[in-house]
């Protein structure tokens, strides 16, 4: 591997990792608050891909992007309202099954509405512009993704640190029951979490699919699981953790494929997950919590 190809792979990896990071934030925030693996998050991300296809068929890209973000947020809120809110008091296993059911439903809905065949993802011209630095060439999206990810994460961190709703979110993720007693409107906090998560998933999907060029109803499945692993790797509930995890998985996946182990790229992610869960279940930046007997 020459230095140029090495740099080329690094860029690809970082770009992929940025998209993963944005999706992973959605997982980590929901888990932090509801203690739920939002299996449907992956399919919200996939649906965002289809929304873009339809938006771009009649609208220019700079209008399509906000439209897609808004529609995706609406979908995220709908999933929350339909599948999770009725089960707030239910045993954890029921909520998890509901999440899996929702994911199943969205996938089947996508097959029904858009067929199982891959659909071409529209090209957003400015994102596809090619840049050449020395021997290394890459499109704008490759450079833009990590930068955008970092900017969004910094903004999000500020939001959580400084605003009232951010404080409420931190309180709820620390102690659900007590914050309820303290008068925090839990449902509002949860809705807000889903809004942020879905918006980031929509942005992530634009960045991700622009590089991959097609969407299928199953496009969300693997990236979704990988992003959850990224969230666990970084420490579930921690936003910077999710970002680090996302980049790590994106880069390692790219290199595995570059070295010719593409069959194992998915398996590697899960192997990583199991290793973390066994060695350090709280992830890189997570905190330990002891169960009270």
Partner 1 sequence: MKKDFSKATRLILSLMAMVGIFFLLFWLEGQKSQYGMLISVMQKGVILSIAAVSMNLLTGFTGLFSLGQAGFMAIGAYVTGILTIPVDRVDSVYYVNGMSEGLKSFKETLAVLPSPVLVALALIAGGLVAAIFAGLVGIPVLRLKSDYLAIATLGFAEIIRAVIASPQLDKITNGSYGIKAIPGFDLGNGRGMLLIPFGVAFLCIGLIVLLIKSSYGRAFKAIREDDIAAEAMGIGLFKHKQLSFIISSFFTAISGGLLAMFMRSIESRAFQIILTYDILLIVVIGGIGSITGSVVGAFLVTFAKEWWLRFFDTPLTINGVQIPLLRQGFRMVVFSVLLMAIVLFYRKGLLGNTEFSWYGFLTWPSRFFKRKKPVSATPGEGGAGDE
- Catalog residues that contact partner 1 under the rule CB under 8 A: 35-37, 82-83, 86-87, 90-94, 96-98, 100-102, 104-105, 108-109, 111-113, 115-116, 221, 225, 228-229, 232, 263-264, 266-267, 269-271, 273-274, 277-278, 281, 293
260: left (phi over 0), alpha (psi -120 to 50) or beta: left
DSSP track, 98-122: HHHHHHHHHHHHHHHHH-SS-EEPP
Residue with Cβ nearer partner 1 (146 or 283)? 283
Q: Residue 20 and residue 16: Cα distance in Å, rounded?
A: 6
Q: How far is the CB of 266 from partner 1 (least distance, A)?
A: 6
Q: How far is the CB of 248 from partner 1 (least distance, A)?
A: 16
Q: How far is the CB of 118 from partner 1 (least distance, A)?
A: 15
Q: How far is the CB of 161 from partner 1 (least distance, A)?
A: 28
Q: Residue 242 and residue 248: Cα distance in Å, rounded?
A: 10
Residue with Cβ nearer partner 1 (95 or 152)? 95
Q: How far is the CB of 291 from partner 1 (least distance, A)?
A: 8
Closest CA to 198 of 16, 39, 44, 68: 44
53, 122 Cβ separation under 8 angstroms: yes
Residue with Cβ nearer partner 1 (108 or 178)? 108
Q: How far is the CB of 223 from partner 1 (least distance, A)?
A: 13
Residue with Cβ nearer partner 1 (42 or 206)? 42
Q: How far is the CB of 74 from partner 1 (least distance, A)?
A: 18
Residue with Cβ nearer partner 1 (146 or 220)? 220
Residue with Cβ nearer partner 1 (93 or 181)? 93
94 CB neighbour count, 10 Å cutoff? 11
Closest CA to 188 of 33, 6, 16, 7: 33
Residue with Cβ nearer partner 1 (35 or 77)? 35
Q: Residue 259 and residue 262: Cα distance in Å, rounded?
A: 8
What HEC string does 21-81 produce? HHHHHHHHHHHHHHCCCCCCHHHHHHHHHHHHHHHHHHCCHHHHHHHHHHHHHHHHHHHHH
Residue with Cβ nearer partner 1 (108 or 137)? 108
Give percent helix, percent strand, percent coil of the chain, each to the nearest 5. 75, 5, 20
What the block records as the tokens of 235 is 């420490």
Q: How far is the CB of 67 from partner 1 (least distance, A)?
A: 25
């Amino acid at each position: 591997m020459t230095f140029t190809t090495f740099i080329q792979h690094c860029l690809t990896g970082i770009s992929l990792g940025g998209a993963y990071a944005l999706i992973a934030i959605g997982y980590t925030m929901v888990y932090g608050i509801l203690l739920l693996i939002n299996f449907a998050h992956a399919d919200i991300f996939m649906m965002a891909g289809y929304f873009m296809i339809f938006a771009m068929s009649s609208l220019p890209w700079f209008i399509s992007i906000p439209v897609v973000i808004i529609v995706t947020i609406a979908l995220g809120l709908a999933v929350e309202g339909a599948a999770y809110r009725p089960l707030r008091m239910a045993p954890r296993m029921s909520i998890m099954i509901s999440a899996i059911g929702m994911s199943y439903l969205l996938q089947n809905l996508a097959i029904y509405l858009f067929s199982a065949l891959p659909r071409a993802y529209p090209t957003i011209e400015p994102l596809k512009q090619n840049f050449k630095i020395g021997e290394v060439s890459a499109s704008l999206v490759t450079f833009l993704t990590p930068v955008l990810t970092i900017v969004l994460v910094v903004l999000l961190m500020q939001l959580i640190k400084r605003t009232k709703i951010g404080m409420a979110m931190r309180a709820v993720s620390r102690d659900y029951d007590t914050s309820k007693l303290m008068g925090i409107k839990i449902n509002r906090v949860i809705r807000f979490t889903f809004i942020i998560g879905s918006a980031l998933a929509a942005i992530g999907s634009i960045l991700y699919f622009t590089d991959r060029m097609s969407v299928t109803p199953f496009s969300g499945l693997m990236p979704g699981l990988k992003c959850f692993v990224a969230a666990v790797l970084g420490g579930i509930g921690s936003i910077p953790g999710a970002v680090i995890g996302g980049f790590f998985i994106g880069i390692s996946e790219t290199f595995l494929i570059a070295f010719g182990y593409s069959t194992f790229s998915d398996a590697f992610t899960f192997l990583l997950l199991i290793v973390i869960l066994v060695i350090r279940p709280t992830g890189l930046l997570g905190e330990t919590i002891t169960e009270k007997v």
